[in-house]
Amino acid sequence: MKKFSYITMAFVALATAFSGCKDQGGKSNGALSSNAAERVYVEPGKYDEFYAFLSGGFSGQLAVYGIPSGRLLKVVPVFSQDPEKAYGYNEETKPLLNTTHGFIPWDDTHHPDMSQTNGVLDGRWIFMNGNNTPRVARVDLTTFETAEIMEIPNSACNHSSAFVTENTEYVIAGTRFAVPIPQKDIAISERKGNFKASLSFISIDKDNGGMDLAFQIRVPGFDYDLVHPGRGKSHGWVFFTTYNTEEAHTLLEVNASQNDKDFIAAINWKKAEEYIKEGKFKTEATQYAHNVYDEETHMATSTIKKEVRVLDSSELPGLVYYLPTPKSPHGCDVDPTGEYIVGNGKLSADLTVHSFSKMIDAIENKKFDGEAYGNPILNFEDVLGGTVIQPGLGPLHTEFDDKGNAYTTFFISSEVVKWKVGTWEILDRKPTYYSPGHLSVPGGNSRKPWGKYVLAMNKITKDRYLPTGPELTQSAQLYDITGEKMELLSDFPTIGEPHYASMVPADIIQPKSKKIYKLSENKHPHAATTDAAVKVERDGNEVRVYMTMIRSHLNPDNIEGIKVGDKVYFHLTNLEQDFDVPHGFAVIGAENSELLVMPGQTETLVWYPKKVGVWPFYCTDFCSALHQEMQGYIRVSPANSNTELNWSLGE
């Protein structure tokens, strides 16, 4: 017994000694002494703790990474065509990229934001904005596919978008450029006072995520830069940063930096809902595309909608208030309690934080300091909650942890600064490499952050990785924020330019991830869900091939009777019902891409045969030991030939 306790004591002493070393190491920045490597290492076959959804910037896509490893899990095509997945190339997904400007195969994605229930990330959908041709997309997180895209009318550069309210009542979409509404042919120099902005509220169906443009609020023609909905006590409001309150139309670099203060626009959307109920809106004629992908037909449809309900803030009191905020604020971030609204004035030396309760008090007591086109301007001192004094240069964005701390990126001084909400004291600062834009804490813009990591997404990469010619990827840096001081753990390259990221614990999404599409639920009009349905049909010069794919053959694999000048639709149905058995399909000279068909799914490739001969088609995704055998021939005869339509497998 005595012997045992000696051993125990010795063990405890030893363990203490070891953990002592560990603590010491934790305070240093060196990866080796701080076991940073261990903390981002995920063993082969093991899973990451968090999903991170990073916008793909000018790639137009959404990148999914595992955190802490930084491993790229998937690139979800959203606004740009992707030949790897046939997105925007196959007949089923083309309608998703339809707009009133026609088929637009590219966009610039900025802010992915996840749906919430009671202010907590719920892992159902990611909403993301397309900046250039204003659009908002919904990505379904059971399939990790784009399920819906809505064009935003009366908008130009959809930057202050696509953030969700705390019960996913609305997705908010502002506009960076003010424009003539309705559009007309006028002199650009007439911008001031004549151009207007629209703030769009897209309501979200609680069950299926379906988007509907509920209403727009017409506001003065400033540049509405970023937005965050209120939460907790400020639920029912949204806050937009503005710049160019000068309403300049040229050389904005100088002309939009004249005013000492721009505004944060506080919008009362509950009040807006009341006005809508009371019928105080105008229905305006406009046009915008609404594109929806149906998981049962495996097809998207595009509808052009023709009108929008508009609330004019200059005529309807109580909708919009302006909070003066120093020097062209960029990020607009609300703390988890909903009390504090951080205006990151990018040309200001200090960080301005407004108080929601002070704002309500000022509104109730009508303490106004003027008006802008009929909208009250509040007094700066009356709404100021606090100031973080000289934290760094060029503040852009702020996120929060679950311990009352805030983390702000500084573009010019290239760092992340940690400060205390309420006391405004600066607690820590760590360099980034280089010039961060947004940063992200899991749940860091909701009521419930998981304060384990902060991910800084940097604009400039320079010497961080092996050079790859003049063009480099952007870098993202991961910090551990569980201790008093932040610790840089790792950095990794990203696709496109990641602007914002939404991070969430993996167990919120992982169990709901879909494995296959059920063949029995496949309602594609040209599906062949059984081999009995395999056929080739001709209607004039249009030929439809109803083809099935299963390890390891395509049925039919011999097709004859196709002629030069035909338009051939290959409708491919993958008959597999097992996880991770997609099949690909490629045919020589196809002008679009391959197909990549998931188990139970149907996809269509259009092919124009141009040359007489016998031509190959094959499976592109290595599916089995006999994948190389998964191939076939299509015979193309001259336009005037009488070759009979014929198809077969194994004959």
Partner 1 sequence: MRIHIRYAIFSAFTLLLMSCGGKEEKKKEGFSVEREKTTTEKTAEPVPAANAVPASERVALDDKGVGPIKSLTLDAEIDQALATQGKEVYDQMCLACHRPDKKFIGPAPMGILERRTPEWVMNMILNPEVMVKEDPLAKELLTEFNGAPMANQGLTEEQARAVLEYFRTL
Query: Looking at 73, 377, 384, 516, which residue binds partner 1 (CB under 8 A)?
Result: 516
- Please identify which residue in the block is written with the tokens 């979409």: 173
- Please identify which residue in the block is written with the tokens 């083809």: 547
DSSP 48: P
- Please identify which residue in the block is written with the tokens 């303490």: 367
550 is a contact residue toward partner 1 (CB under 8 A): yes
CA–CA separation, 564 and 546 (whole Å): 20
Contact 313, 374 (CB under 8 A): yes
Compose the 469-508 pattern: x for residues touching partner 1 by CB under 8 A, - for all others.
Answer: ----------------------------------------
536 is a contact residue toward partner 1 (CB under 8 A): no
Structure tokens at 423: 């006391």
Stretch touching partner 1 by CB under 8 A, among 415-423, 514-522, 585-593, 606-614: 514-522
323 is a contact residue toward partner 1 (CB under 8 A): no
Contact 359, 404 (CB under 8 A): no
Stretch touching partner 1 by CB under 8 A, among 163-171, 270-278, 468-476, 530-538: 530-538
CA–CA separation, 365 and 368 (whole Å): 9
Find the shortest distance in angstroms from Cβ 629 to partner 1.
9
CA of 61: how far to CAs of 54, 260, 337, 492, in Å?
A: 9, 37, 32, 18
Question: Which lies closer to partner 1 via its Cβ, residue 543 or residue 581?
Answer: 581
396 is a contact residue toward partner 1 (CB under 8 A): no
Query: Looking at 30, 469, 470, 650, which residue binds partner 1 (CB under 8 A)?
Result: 650
CA–CA separation, 492 and 477 (whole Å): 7
532 is a contact residue toward partner 1 (CB under 8 A): yes
Question: Which lies closer to partner 1 via its Cβ, residue 143 or residue 473?
Answer: 143
CA–CA separation, 367 and 507 (whole Å): 48
Find the shortest distance in angstroms from Cβ 74 to partner 1.
22
Question: Which lies closer to partner 1 via its Cβ, residue 212 or residue 629?
Answer: 629
Question: Which lies closer to partner 1 via its Cβ, residue 187 or residue 625?
Answer: 625
Find the shortest distance in angstroms from Cβ 557 to partner 1.
12
Residue 52, beta-bridge partner list: 65, 503
527 is a contact residue toward partner 1 (CB under 8 A): no
Question: Which lies closer to partner 1 via its Cβ, residue 530 or residue 643?
Answer: 530
Question: Which lies closer to partner 1 via its Cβ, residue 485 or residue 551?
Answer: 551
Query: Looking at 101, 184, 625, 651, which residue binds partner 1 (CB under 8 A)?
Result: 625
Stretch touching partner 1 by CB under 8 A, among 192-200, 206-214, 545-553, 640-648: 545-553
Stretch touching partner 1 by CB under 8 A, among 289-297, 438-446, 516-524, 639-647: 516-524
530 is a contact residue toward partner 1 (CB under 8 A): yes
Pure H helices in 281-396: 356-364, 380-383
Q: What backbone phi and psi angles, to 5 degrees, belong to 452?
A: -100, -40
Select from 115, 34, 52, 17 the least CA-distant residue to 453: 52
Question: Which lies closer to partner 1 via its Cβ, residue 126 or residue 554?
Answer: 554
Find the shortest distance in angstroms from Cβ 520 to partner 1.
7
529 is a contact residue toward partner 1 (CB under 8 A): yes
Contact 290, 305 (CB under 8 A): yes
CA–CA separation, 223 and 218 (whole Å): 13
624 is a contact residue toward partner 1 (CB under 8 A): yes
Query: Looking at 150, 204, 319, 581, which residue binds partner 1 (CB under 8 A)?
Result: 581
Alpha-carbon Rg for the chain in angstroms? 28
Question: Which lies closer to partner 1 via its Cβ, residue 424 or residue 633?
Answer: 633
| Other Cβ atoms closer than 10 A to 51 | 27
Question: Which lies closer to partner 1 via its Cβ, residue 528 or residue 543?
Answer: 528
Judged by CB under 8 A, the chain residues 551 through 580 that form the site for partner 1 are 551-553, 555, 575-578
Select from 540, 537, 539, 531 the least CA-distant residue to 570: 537
Question: Which lies closer to partner 1 via its Cβ, residue 77 or residue 556?
Answer: 556
Question: Which lies closer to partner 1 via its Cβ, residue 537 or residue 578?
Answer: 578
429 is a contact residue toward partner 1 (CB under 8 A): no
Burial 606-622 (b: 16+ CB within 10 A, else e): bbebeeeeebebbbbbe
Compose the 582-621 pattern: x for residues touching partner 1 by CB under 8 A, - for all others.
Answer: ----------------------------------------
At 16 the three-state DSSP class reads helix
Q: Between the CA atoms of 340, 346, 349 and 353, what dihedral angle is there, to the nearest 10 degrees?
A: -10
For every residue of 332-350, which 3-state class applies, written as one string?
EEECCCCCEEEEEECCCCC
Judged by CB under 8 A, the chain residues 109 through 168 that form the site for partner 1 are none
Contact 451, 405 (CB under 8 A): yes
At 102 the three-state DSSP class reads strand
* Residue ranges binding partner 1 (CB under 8 A): 516, 519-520, 529-532, 548, 550-553, 555, 575-578, 581, 624-626, 650
